[in-house]
Structure 1
């Protein structure tokens, strides 16, 4: 009864709209804004924060995420561990936001950093892809040229006949850049095979999620010189066995697997099974990039450019320089000095 009268935490959860600088096109979708669920946990001295975007193609929206968190409000406010959270919320954006807020709060309470809590070594910065919308080839080439300092690019594709032209336009604009393409489930075995000569000719390093979810058997028997990556086909650890021998790269997103706790576990198991690791994002502000940056230290491919596409980021925010992302201490997961 005492714990009910004196909650250990005060939960605040609300949705923020993050308008994009311009429309962004992928297979089957055009985005003009990102809606984000922001969760704050306050213990009377310190506040931990987390941000979740959800998984749009699974109807995991910020509105439904907010409902999930509110249903769990009493349990959260009376004390919850990250391990308990794994049992109480499913993988998705709601669990991501709460889990990351718990990590942030623990770091501040302990006057330490999430890097120290995880036992990971903090990198100076991470090479990240800059993403190109699936626009007309001329526009794609111009956009690639406008990415000053880009060292890695990720080109979105569509389920149309212009993909090969898009790839060639990017390569012509940026001859020396590391390049991957992302079909967002929009290809078939036949259309991928037709594109393969162009992919090889232009030096594409990875093809991400070429086939629709549920069509993972289409990967069987493919022995392409370009590595294949799973994104939508891998939400959490339960999906890994069905992808062995089919893809070489696993794209881990905290909104998909449900937080940094689950993301680190997914990364460990995927590595043990022989997959290369990639960290991605569903968009969002620097508050989303902070925990993903931690996971990125384990990955050979990093795609953390979400804040580049929104009109206004948080302050302080991550920085992009020379094709790399850097996450300063003040954004998330670092010690907090109380005012005197």
Structure 2
């Protein structure tokens, strides 16, 4: 039987409003790719991201353009050479992984060499808002082990201090989403250090971050928008201390595994992150993140409802996927 590829667009309402420096959203729109073969179906989910020039329509078109390739026994290893990194390739790649696992009767975890994947401590994101609103949200979630704070305003100092006061015992990640400048970054780094911040994501715009190689890192810096695929890593040395690997950036688990291995060889700490999507999108990332220094896979926690079956979340822990979900 010829393999068959299909796509479905789904909309998940966000619990409240999710705001970063580039705007606000009340829903997450995702594309699910399915590949069927011999009565078995593999699934992968991606989240198109406008920051990278992606739309639902463009990503779905890219996925469907691979129908003949998939039907003609194409593989995920060949897919990496055929498609550029991004959401479309991620959805197909993860569907391939899921299909292979089901057909072979071998869990993806075992294929990755993970004898017994474990539950991980994930960050929980505090949306960007006025300092008192962010403090209120941080206080509500102060029992969590790790909070990720969205920043990128003209007054992030008050927001950092307000969150720290509201959640004095939490580890903190700050995510400026390219919102700081060469004029204020050294000040914000010192404020962050004084507030006991553990990590800062992408403080400056990608491609405009040379200063990071010349200033003192009072807090470790993590590349996000600057780090898409393995080829990017060499250019980040000396500027960043860690890299955030997201499947929707790398274009799937296949490339992400290679990227993670090379990042570790180059001395970077690893963060595994996500877009705002359902548990289907998080499932392969949980396996990738098994020994990561930082895990940010809270996408489903930000939704008003999740896919079925969902990942298991308990407080700050996210558990490996059951095979009914993925892999």
Name the TM tier (shorter chain). Answer: over 0.9
SS at match of 1:277: strand
Runs of 4+ in 1 over 4 A off after TM superposition: none
Question: Cα distance, 1:328 vs. partner?
Answer: 3.5
Q: Output the CA distance in 2 between the equivalents of 1:211 and 1:89.
A: 28
The answer to whether 1:281 aligns with 2:270 is no
The answer to whether 1:327 aligns with 2:320 is yes
The answer to whether 1:182 aligns with 2:164 is no
The answer to whether 1:317 aligns with 2:304 is no
In structure 2, the residue matched to 1:243 is 236
Q: Output the CA distance in 1 between the equivalents of 2:74 and 2:147.
A: 40
Question: Cα distance, 1:182 vs. partner?
Answer: 0.3
Aligned pairs (5 A) from 1:204-215: 204-215=197-208
Question: Scaled by the length of structure 2, what TM-score is found?
Answer: 0.96
Question: Cα distance, 1:134 vs. partner?
Answer: 0.9
Q: Output the CA distance in 2 between the equivalents of 1:117 and 1:54.
A: 28
In structure 2, the residue matched to 1:254 is 247
Contact 1:209 1:228 in 2 (8 A): yes
Structure 1 pair 60–121 and aligned structure 2 pair: CA distance change class (3 A): farther
Contact 1:316 1:330 in 2 (8 A): no
Q: Output the CA distance in 2 between the equivalents of 1:30 and 1:74.
A: 37
In structure 2, the residue matched to 1:82 is 76
The answer to whether 1:29 aligns with 2:29 is no
In structure 2, the residue matched to 1:228 is 221
Q: Output the CA distance in 2 between the equivalents of 1:55 and 1:222.
A: 31
SS at match of 2:89: helix
In structure 2, the residue matched to 1:144 is 138
SS at match of 2:14: strand
SS at match of 2:184: helix
The answer to whether 1:100 aligns with 2:89 is no
The answer to whether 1:53 aligns with 2:47 is yes
Q: Output the CA distance in 2 between the equivalents of 1:296 and 1:27.
A: 26
In structure 2, the residue matched to 1:12 is 6
2:189 aligns with one of 176, 189, 196: 196
Question: Scaled by the length of structure 1, what TM-score is found?
Answer: 0.93
Identify unmatched segments of 5+ residues in structure 1. 1-5, 335-340
In structure 2, the residue matched to 1:70 is 64
RMSD after superposition? 1.4
The answer to whether 1:264 aligns with 2:257 is yes
Q: Output the CA distance in 2 between the equivalents of 1:17 and 1:326.
A: 24
Q: Output the CA distance in 1 between the equivalents of 2:230 and 2:326.
A: 24
Question: Cα distance, 1:189 vs. partner?
Answer: 2.2
SS at match of 1:189: coil
Q: Output the CA distance in 2 between the equivalents of 1:298 and 1:54.
A: 27
2:119 aligns with one of 125, 136, 141: 125
Question: Cα distance, 1:120 vs. partner?
Answer: 2.3
SS at match of 1:197: helix
In structure 2, the residue matched to 1:112 is 106
Stretch moving more, 228-237 or 23-32:
23-32
Q: Output the CA distance in 1 between the equivalents of 2:260 and 2:324.
A: 23
Q: Output the CA distance in 2 between the equivalents of 1:51 and 1:228.
A: 29
Question: Cα distance, 1:331 vs. partner?
Answer: 4.7
Identify unmatched segments of 5+ residues in structure 2. none
Question: Cα distance, 1:99 vs. partner?
Answer: 0.4
